[in-house]
């Protein structure tokens, strides 16, 4: 039985005031004990979110990290070692907004996964197809290509602590979630691909669904056999919606 995980990706949102308010509310809201809950604030707010949530069970992570490990000369970047130093447990890697808008390649994403794991943090590795790729019947091919790069560069034996997230690009922030059946098909394909390389990893790996998850559709999505939780964007900024989604994952 895989323990569900719900991660809130705050993206490039928030101010000192709104992040403070959101974090205090999260600290007070009742969340199910049977679900791992993680929030991913913008870098500059991580420190304060870690302090506010220090006595809660909510994990904190970053939305990205440098591909260079350790410390040193790389102006403007933040390393996994620094994220660990300020109390992060998790790092989101390969979000489609970074792949598409910032040109992150499959190989770069895989190298970042390696750095995250080597630094003692846990990656949430995003994969997913664009609308044109789905329309041309290439969804599984794209997702396998993204996954294979990670397995090839990092090695399946090192991926025991990794979490995967399937996020169809056309469903992100669009209000148009994949149907539970569409999502399940890809989740099952991801698990099957992992199983070709390691049955043990495939069995234990949590695969989250992301893309317009809301309290209204969460229960149905999380009810699918290979969906082990969610990666939540917009709805993670509203404490009532986010906590309702976490409760759905616990059902
Ligand atoms: P969304 O974003 O929930 O706003 O669609 C999900 C994500 O990009 O992780």
Asked about 95 being catalytic, the answer comes back as yes
Most distant CA pair in the chain, distance: 48
Q: State the pTM of this model.
A: 0.98
**For residue 172, which atom of ligand 1 is closest to its CA?**
5
Is 167 in the active site?
A: yes
Q: For residue 1, is pLDDT > 90?
A: no
Ligand 1, atom nearest to 214 Cα: 3
Q: Tell me, what's the pLDDT at 206?
A: 98
User: Is the Cβ–Cβ distance between 230 and 213 less than 8 Å?
Assistant: yes
Tell me, in angstroms, the distance from the centre of ligand 1 to residue 167's CA.
Answer: 8
Confidence of residue 3 (pLDDT cuts 50, 70, 90): very high
Residues 6 or more apart in contact with residue 195 via CB below 8 angstroms = 201, 202, 203
* Contact in structure between 147 and 193 (CB atoms under 8 Å): yes
Which residue has the CA at smallest separation from atom 2 of ligand 1? 233
For residues 26 and 232, is the Cβ–Cβ distance under 8 A? no
Percent of the chain with pLDDT over 70: 100
Give the SS3 label for residue 227: coil
Q: 232: which DSSP letter?
A: E
**What average pLDDT does the segment 69-87 reach?**
98
Residue closest via CA to ligand 1's atom 9 equals: 233
Choice among 111, 133, 167, 187 that is catalytic: 167
Whose CA is closest to atom 1 on ligand 1? Answer: 233
Of 96, 91, 109, nearest to 40 by C-alpha is 91
Average pLDDT over residues 162-188: 97
Q: Determine whether the shortest distance from the Cβ of 212 to ligand 1 is under 6 A.
A: yes
Domains and CATH numbers, the chain: 5-250 (3.20.20.70)
Continuous segment of H or E residues that includes residue 230: strand 229-232
Question: How do residues 233-242 score in pLDDT, each as one tens digit?
Answer: 999 999 999 9
**How far is the centre of ligand 1, averaged over its atoms, from the C-alpha of 179 (Å)?**
15
E strand or H helix at 41, and its extent? none
pLDDT digits (tens, 9 = 90+) for 195-211: 999 999 999 999 999 99
Q: What is the pLDDT of residue 138?
A: 98
Q: How far is CA 141 from the centre of its chain?
A: 21
Q: How far does residue 45's CA lie from ligand 1's centre (Å)?
A: 19
- Give dist(CA 45, CA 245) in Å, integer: 23
pLDDT (tens digit per residue) in 119-136: 999 999 999 999 999 999
Exposed/middle/buried for residue 29 (C-beta within 10 Å: 0-12, 13-18, 19+): middle
Average pLDDT of the chain is 98
For atom 6 of ligand 1, which residue has the closest CA? 233
- Whether 222 has a pLDDT exceeding 90, the answer reads yes
pLDDT value of position 54 = 96
Query: Which pLDDT tens digit goes with each residue over 18-64?
Result: 999 999 999 999 999 999 999 999 999 999 999 999 999 999 999 99
């Amino acid at each position: 039985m895989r323990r569900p995980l719900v991660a809130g990706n705050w993206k490039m949102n928030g101010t000192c005031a709104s992040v403070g308010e959101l974090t205090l509310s999260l600290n007070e809201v009742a969340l199910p004990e049977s679900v791992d809950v993680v929030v991913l604030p913008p870098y500059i707010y991580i420190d304060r979110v870690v302090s506010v949530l220090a006595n809660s069970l909510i994990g904190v992570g970053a939305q990205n990290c440098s591909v260079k490990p350790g410390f040193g000369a790389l102006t403007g970047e933040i390393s996994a070692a620094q994220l660990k130093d300020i109390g992060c447990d998790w790092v989101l890697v390969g979000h489609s907004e970074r792949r598409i808008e910032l040109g992150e390649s499959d190989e770069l994403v895989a190298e970042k996964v390696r750095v995250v794991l080597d630094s003692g943090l846990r990656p949430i590795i995003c994969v997913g197809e664009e609308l044109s790729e789905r329309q041309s019947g290439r969804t599984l091919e794209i997702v396998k290509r993204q996954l294979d790069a990670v397995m090839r560069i990092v090695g399946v034996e090192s991926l025991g602590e990794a979490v995967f997230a399937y996020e169809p690009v056309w469903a992100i922030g669009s209000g148009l979630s994949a149907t539970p059946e569409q999502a399940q098909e890809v989740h099952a394909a991801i698990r099957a691909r992992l199983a070709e390389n390691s049955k043990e990893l495939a069995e234990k790996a949590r695969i989250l669904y992301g893309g317009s998850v809301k309290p209204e559709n969460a229960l149905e999505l999380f009810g699918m056999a290979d969906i082990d939780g969610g990666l939540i964007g917009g709805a993670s900024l509203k404490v009532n919606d986010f906590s309702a989604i976490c409760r759905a994952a616990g059902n």
